[in-house]
Amino acid sequence: MKINMDDLYQKARQAADAAYAPYSHFRVGAALLAEDGTVFTGCNVENRSYGLTICAERGAVMKAVSSGCRSFVALAIATPDSNYPVGPCGACRQVLSEFMESTAPVRFAGSGSEVVNTTVGELYPYDSLHELATNM
């Protein structure tokens, strides 16, 4: 499948507009491309407890898996409230590595001109508990 990272990034940027971020005022949007071409988006959903906040990336994974999709070939993340690219947090890297190959492309960007194009493996080398990974 031809992967269009520009389109995927645009979907992530749109998803950021749905962010519920009244505490940080920092919107994040994520777009996950599934093997069959379906795109699942997510946004950060904060909570007044702070600790129960769910990141955009994990929101997208939960939406996809609960819709029956478990395999993703690309990810884009938009952080329009920063002028530099902000990568996924450590917890999200672990969760993404469960459902993506290390070679899968990842793009992230803020409101500035800098764009990071990387891969799941570069973001999460020596992935934790790799030996427990299953293809079920």
Residue in 8, 28, 31, 78 binding ligand THU, rule: CB under 6 A: 28
Residue (22 or 68) nearer to ligand THU, CB: 22
To ligand THU, the closest distance from the beta carbon of 13 in angstroms equals 14
Instruction: Identify which of residues 35 and 105 has a Cβ nearer to ligand THU in the complex.
Output: 105
CA atoms in the 13 A half-sphere facing the CB of 8 = 26
Residue/partner pairs of 6-11 with CB below 8 Å, 24 or more apart: 8/33, 8/39, 8/74, 8/75, 8/76, 8/107, 9/76, 9/78, 9/107, 9/109, 11/39, 11/41, 11/76
**Contact between 88 and ligand THU per CB under 6 A:** yes
Asked if 118 interacts with ligand THU (CB under 6 A), we say: no
| 57 catalytic residue (yes or no) | yes
How many angstroms separate the CA atoms of 123 and 102, rounded?
Answer: 9
Site string for ligand THU, 49-68 (x = CB under 6 A): ----x-xxx-----------
How far apart are CB 89 and ligand THU at their closest, in Å?
A: 4
In the complex, which residues of this chain contact ligand THU (CB under 6 A)? 21, 24, 26, 28, 44, 46, 53, 55-57, 88-89, 92
